[in-house]
Structure 1
Amino acid sequence: MDFSRVELSDEDRRFRDDVQALLRGLVTEEVKRRDRETGDNFDEGVHLALGEAGYLEREWKSEADGGFSRVRRRIWEQEKRRFHVPWVTWGTTSMVARSVDKFATPEVRDEVLPRVFSGHVRMCLGYTEPEGGSDIATCKTRAVREADGSSWIINGAKMFTTGAHNCQYVFLITNTDPSAPKHQSLTMFLVPLDTPGIEIQGIRTVDGDRTNIVYYSDVRVDDRYRLGEVNGGWTVLREPLNAEHGAVAAAEDGLADVSIMMHQAGFMADALDRAAGRAGASGPGGRRLLDDQSVAYRLGRSAARMEAALSAPSIFGRVAIAQTMRDISPDLMDILGAASALPLGTDGAADDGGAEYVYRFAPLVGIYGGTLEVFRNMIAQYALGLGKPKYAASQ
């Protein structure tokens, strides 16, 4: 394994310094406090400022098209994490924008993409349904074409449409032919969220984030907002779905994340560092928690598991990170004692709520974009060649 360091040029160092100065001024303690209270993982002021400064467009575009160089892209991603930029809504927006660029009409591309880059348009994912689980191809939300062919009427509901209340469009999967096989019955739309008949209701998750359930009642959508062919939605959906799953090839230059969910893994690394710092500090009698060999063993085991998870590539890393967060966060809380149950910002919290937050956050990391069980089946079937799982009772 190559652990060589990238030597930054003077221009790249100036770029890093400029990014740090910008983010230091934008992501204030007030922004972080507001984000914790709302659970939005989005701040419009920050987002618009990044758009105005050109960073959203440069992040989205390739270097050949005027975007970041590979080194500057890595600097930008690392600094965003270091300053805790609220990022989820830009993540969904950038994924959907790829499909808009590839499958939308020129009219819709011109309507959407320039405002995506300025920050004034954000887009969310309308995939999961209240009774659908992780298999989004079992979609029941119906889109029926009107007689003149100019528009569609959509009825149904979607769960976990994170960011919908801060977005202007939803990337919506619909069923346009219930009699067809499930992967041949789907059509994708980019639906304006101010269309009559759309109702957004907020849901707070156990980690404090906000997501949404969105109801569609006789929502009329112009055919120009259809992406791709009728009943060809799986083709449109596949690329952003692969990106969300983390099932993408590693970059040859080694500058990309090893796997998806590295942003979430950063919270785990911070919590472990805080726990180790607390365990290494002398108590009132001069004794350290670390002097207890069982504590030293458990901390070491947690650190080793975390490093292994951070080193696992592609979809394997996604599973390893989520499972490791679930496994080591209770250990860290147990080591730190009862005060570790106090959340971030609470007086007396053992580690300023680090381990407690990871403990609440970990189950959701194993659900986002599909459950760990789904990804383990994908690994077994496609990476290990074990075939499709059989759930029927044996005879």
Structure 2
Amino acid sequence: MDFSRVDLTGEEQEFLDEIRGFLDLHVTDDVRRRDRETGDNFDETVHLAMGAAGYLEREYRSEAEGGFDRVRRRLWELEKRRVHVPWVTWGTTSIVARSVEKFGSPALRDEVLPKVFSGHVRLCLGYTEPEGGSDVATCKTRAVRDGDYWVINGSKMFTTGAHNSQYTFLITNTDPQAKKHKSLTMFLVPLDTSGIEIQPLWTVDGDRTNIVYYSDVRIADEYRLGEVNEGWTVLRGPLDTEHGVATPNTDGLEDVSILQHQGSYMATTLDKVAGLLSVPDAAGRRPVDGGSVSYRLGRSVARVEAALSTPNMYGRVALAQAMRDVAPELMDVLSASSVLPIETPGAIDDGASEYLFRWAPLCGIYGGTLEVFRNMIAQHALGLGRASYAQTRSKAS
């Protein structure tokens, strides 16, 4: 692993100064407060400003297509993380836009993509169903053809950002008699279509997601992505991106795994706790000098550093598990006041470790549970075969 620093050229430093000024202007304390209160992980004013400045398209496009070069892309990503840009809806939008670009008709691409880059169109993921778990291929939401139209009935859970989006990337079942991976068709469904109802759900960390109901939703065939019953082909790329299975570039200018944003928050929280535990009391004693505290703090540091350095899908598991292990440890070594949330009088670390504790379970189910990812690693990376959860019967003696 290369730990060397990148020396910025004069032009790169100018770019860094430019984006810092832009983000500091638009991502204000009021934006962050509003995001905590709504749980949206999205701010339209900030999003439209980034679109108008050309940053959305430059982030989306490769360098060869006029997008950021490697250094500028890394600077942009790190600066967004530094100021806590509400980013989730842009994340889903950029994932889906690539499928629209690859599988959509020319008319659909012209309808959607320019407004994606201006910020006026956002896209969300319509995968999980109330009884479907992490296996999206068990889809029960039905799409039935009616001439040049399709009629859709069903429901989707955890459609984060649906209330701030104009389209959803919807997986449907178009052939119930076929094998599950051969029965799927993908659509880009306009969310203002009659028969769609969006209801909010709030997670334990305060984020808003949604359940979306589809009742006799009628859309034109032009909103289909890819071939009928070939939806798995359309879906594989976005799933791989969401799962974090892509191999990172070897130049060191990108995250080594997905969930690095969450991992950085964990590391920052750990630093804050370590600083608090290093403050001497009236008698000159520091909590960190105690054997138990120093051991537990050191163990947490080791876990965080190892997780942040773990690549690919393994890093996703390592980071999510580290959050679950480290958060309660930090709260325990601080004091009872660590249970108080941000901006609450008496919160010893202004709610940092308390929020990490509430965020950790969610990071273990984003895009699939940790158990699913461990099975994927075991089966596809280690060649251990498919897991069997059936109970074995003992032979009678």
Structure 1 gaps of 5+ residues are none
Q: Which SS does the other structure have where 1:281 is aligned?
A: coil
Q: Which amino acid aligns with 2:199?
A: Q
* Structure 2 counterpart of 1:29: 29
- Return the TM-score normalized by structure 1: 0.99
Q: CA deviation at 1:349?
A: 0.5
* Structure 2 counterpart of 1:233: 231
Aligned with residue 169 of structure 1, among 147, 167, 189: 167
Measured in 1, the distance between the counterparts of 2:249 and 2:178 equals 38
- Return the TM-score normalized by structure 2: 0.98
* Structure 1 counterpart of 2:379: 381
State the identity as a percent: 69
Q: CA deviation at 1:394?
A: 2.2
Aligned with residue 351 of structure 2, among 333, 350, 353: 353
* Structure 2 counterpart of 1:207: 205
Measured in 2, the distance between the counterparts of 1:265 and 1:133 equals 25
Q: CA deviation at 1:204?
A: 0.5
Measured in 1, the distance between the counterparts of 2:268 and 2:303 equals 15
Q: Which SS does the other structure have where 1:251 is aligned?
A: coil
Contact 2:2 2:252 survives alignment (8 Å): no
- When the two structures are aligned, how many residues end up with a matched partner? 393
Contact 2:188 2:223 survives alignment (8 Å): yes
Q: Which SS does the other structure have where 1:191 is aligned?
A: strand
Structure 2 gaps of 5+ residues are none
| Larger mean Cα displacement after TM superposition, 383-392 or 110-119 | 383-392
Measured in 1, the distance between the counterparts of 2:328 and 2:35 equals 25
Q: CA deviation at 1:286?
A: 2.1
Q: Which amino acid aligns with 2:82?
A: R
Deviation readout 1:216-261 (Å, 9 max, x if unpaired): 0000011000000000000000001000000111212221100000
* Structure 1 counterpart of 2:47: 47
Q: Which SS does the other structure have where 2:229 is aligned?
A: coil
Aligned with residue 329 of structure 1, among 316, 327, 330: 327
Measured in 1, the distance between the counterparts of 2:167 and 2:283 equals 59
Deviation readout 1:244-302 (Å, 9 max, x if unpaired): 00011121222110000011112211110110000001123321111211101111110
Q: Which amino acid aligns with 1:284?
A: A
* Structure 2 counterpart of 1:4: 4
* Structure 2 counterpart of 1:91: 91
Deviation readout 1:139-198 (Å, 9 max, x if unpaired): 00000000x2x1100000000000000000000000000000000000000000000000
Contact 2:257 2:312 survives alignment (8 Å): yes
Aligned counterparts, 1:196-345, within 5 A: 196-345=194-343
Aligned counterparts, 1:90-239, within 5 A: 90-146=90-146, 148=147, 150-239=148-237
Q: CA deviation at 1:392?
A: 2.1
Q: Which SS does the other structure have where 2:74 is aligned?
A: helix
Deviation readout 1:76-125 (Å, 9 max, x if unpaired): 00000000000000000000000000000000000000000000000000
Q: CA deviation at 1:390?
A: 1.4
Measured in 1, the distance between the counterparts of 2:3 and 2:13 equals 20
